[in-house]
């Protein structure tokens, strides 16, 4: 596993070993029969079908509809058969992966086994009984079991992604999995109903529940697609500005990467980090209201021209605030030229009164501007740009933000 860090390798290895040990343990407890062997292909086929349409998560990984299938089998047969059904579902995952990525498939299989194991232990501890033709089990053990599955599953996947990205587990969960909670809650009764219908009617009755399962999949996919379109729209707006100025090509995306990394270094809450990302991409959108003669002037601007240029934060705020989901980002766009000592514009805010996102953008924007070629000057060497940031810490810039940003530069982080 050469492409993985030592921490990730150790974590993946530990999870894989624990999962394999539990699979052997649960398999040993299965009471085999011809009837069981005849029922297994039905559930395995459903699990494979449920894995055919994965929905990509914002920060890596994906979600599928395999949970209700595994949960139904768990409630009927226990963890042994449920684990093997889940393993069969990951055959699709193996097909999607590139050659040599066997460890990813192994991790996916074993974390599912651990999730099923946690659900079963909780179910038994709370007095749950297998679903039969005469017994429907008990509601509290079922709910607690589903919750245990969800928490274990998201924790295991979330941790490996957080280690890989180098960000906190809590932040990764907030970005990647928080939005999946309602869908998991909705899938729990589906898994229960599958078990009940299978036991009290027949296998064909279970197929009727594939329709609401498809709706759950559609909800997953729609959310992910809306998020991608949201980000694509933001990037398109930024590109519209950068196309007018060849000297700032890709400036907004560089800004977003460095601003996000700096915000994480400062332990800014995950939800606010995403707002900062959007604000960084759109921070110069207000320049759409500045004439090309001023924007691309191959010399220093006059005071009158600077007055026009200083209008761009307000124009940008007015544009961005029209998008309901970007109202918080519009405040950062508006204040990103404020100075820490109160000598900036447009409002002359001072110190902590300036939103943290705007203080971060001020530092990152200044650095990127200094190290980029401009119509009226060459790019500064990195050392000189760093010297300027240090010299202006506490006056133009927030000193804490400068130190966090320089730490990011030194470590060579490039977080997207």
Residuewise pLDDT in 10s, the chain (416 residues) = 445 677 888 999 999 999 999 999 999 988 888 888 888 999 999 988 887 766 666 555 666 778 889 999 999 999 999 999 999 988 876 666 666 567 778 888 999 999 999 999 999 999 888 888 777 777 899 999 999 999 898 889 888 888 877 777 777 777 767 766 777 777 888 889 999 999 888 888 888 887 777 776 677 677 667 767 766 777 777 776 666 665 555 677 788 889 999 998 998 887 788 899 889 988 888 888 887 777 777 777 788 888 888 898 999 899 888 877 788 899 999 999 999 999 998 999 999 999 999 999 999 999 988 988 766 667 788 899 999 999 999 999 999 999 999 999 888 654 43
Residue-level pLDDT at 308 = 86
DSSP string for 123-183: HHHTT-----SS----HHHHHHHHHHHHHHHHHHHHHHHHHHHTS-HHHHHHHHTGGGHHH
DSSP string for 46-110: HHHHHTSS-EE-TTS-EE-SHHHHHHHHHHHH-HHHHHHHHHHHTHHHHHHSPTT-HHHHHHHHH
What's phi and psi for 261, nearest 5 deg?
Answer: -60, -40
Residue 149 near residue 27 (C-beta atoms within 8 A): no
Nearest alpha carbon to residue 71 among 158, 179, 177, 145: 145
**CA pair distance 143, 122, nearest whole angstrom:** 10
Tokens for 309, please give them.
Answer: 């240029």
Could you check whether 6-227 and 243-411 share the same CATH topology?
Answer: no
Residue-level pLDDT at 414 = 46
Domain residue limits, the chain: 6-227, 243-411
Helices (H), 201-326: 203-207, 210-242, 251-265, 270-282, 292-295, 303-309, 312-320
Domain with residues 6-227, CATH architecture: Orthogonal Bundle (1.10)
Can you tell me whether residue 369 is helix, strand or coil?
A: helix
Inter-residue long-range contacts of 164-171, CB under 8 Å, 24+ positions, other chains counted: 164/4, 164/5, 164/8, 164/60, 165/59, 165/60, 165/415, 166/413, 166/415, 167/264, 167/415, 168/264, 168/267, 168/270, 170/270, 171/264, 171/269, 171/270, 171/273
Residue-level pLDDT at 376 = 63
**CA pair distance 256, 404, nearest whole angstrom:** 15
- Segment (H or E) for 21: helix 6-28
Tokens for 222, please give them.
Answer: 């729609």
Residue-level pLDDT at 204 = 86
Question: Which superfamily is assigned to 243-411 in CATH?
Answer: Hypothetical protein af1432 (1.10.3210.10)
Residue-level pLDDT at 379 = 79
Q: Please indicate, yes or no, whether the overall pTM of this predicted structure exceeds 0.75.
A: no
**CA pair distance 70, 26, nearest whole angstrom:** 14
């Amino acid at each position: 596993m050469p492409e993985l860090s030592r921490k990730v390798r150790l974590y993946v290895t530990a999870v894989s070993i624990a999962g394999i040990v539990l699979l052997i343990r649960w398999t040993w407890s299965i009471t085999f029969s011809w009837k069981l062997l005849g029922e297994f292909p039905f559930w395995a086929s459903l699990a494979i079908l449920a894995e055919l349409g994965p929905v990509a998560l914002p920060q890596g990984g994906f979600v599928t509809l395999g949970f209700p299938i595994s949960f139904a089998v768990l409630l009927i047969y226990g963890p042994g058969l449920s684990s093997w059904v889940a393993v069969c579902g990951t055959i699709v995952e193996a097909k999607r992966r590139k050659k040599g990525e066997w460890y990813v498939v192994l991790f996916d299989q074993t974390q599912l086994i651990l999730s099923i194991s946690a659900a079963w232990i909780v179910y038994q501890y709370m007095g749950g009984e297998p679903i039969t033709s005469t017994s429907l089990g008990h509601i509290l053990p079922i709910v607690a079991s589903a919750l245990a599955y969800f928490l274990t599953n998201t924790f295991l996947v979330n941790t490996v992604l957080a280690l890989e990205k180098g960000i906190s587990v809590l932040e990764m969960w907030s970005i990647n999995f928080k939005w999946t909670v309602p869908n998991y809650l909705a899938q729990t009764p589906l898994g229960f109903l599958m078990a009940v219908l299978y036991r009290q009617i027949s296998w064909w009755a279970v197929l009727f529940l594939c329709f609401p399962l498809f709706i759950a999949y559609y909800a997953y996919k729609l959310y992910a697609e809306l998020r991608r379109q949201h980000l694509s729209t933001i990037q398109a707006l930024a590109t519209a500005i950068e196309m007018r100025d060849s000297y700032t090509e890709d400036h907004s995306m560089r800004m977003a990467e460095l601003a996000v990394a700096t915000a994480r270094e400062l332990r800014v809450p995950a939800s606010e980090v995403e707002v900062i990302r959007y604000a960084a991409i759109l921070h110069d959108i207000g320049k759409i209201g500045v004439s090309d003669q001023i924007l691309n002037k191959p010399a220093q601007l006059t005071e009158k021209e600077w007055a026009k240029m200083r209008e761009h934060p307000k124009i940008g705020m007015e544009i961005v605030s029209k998008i309901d989901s970007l109202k918080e980002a519009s405040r950062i766009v508006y204040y990103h030229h404020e100075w820490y000592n109160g000598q900036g514009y447009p409002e002359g805010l001072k110190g902590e009164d300036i939103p943290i996102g705007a203080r971060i953008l001020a530092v990152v924007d200044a650095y990127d501007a200094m190290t980029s070629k401009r119509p009226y000057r060459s790019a500064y060497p990195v050392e000189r740009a760093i010297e300027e940031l240090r010299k202006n810490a506490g006056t133009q810039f927030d000193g804490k933000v400068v130190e966090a940003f320089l730490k990011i530069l030194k470590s060579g982080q490039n977080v997207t």
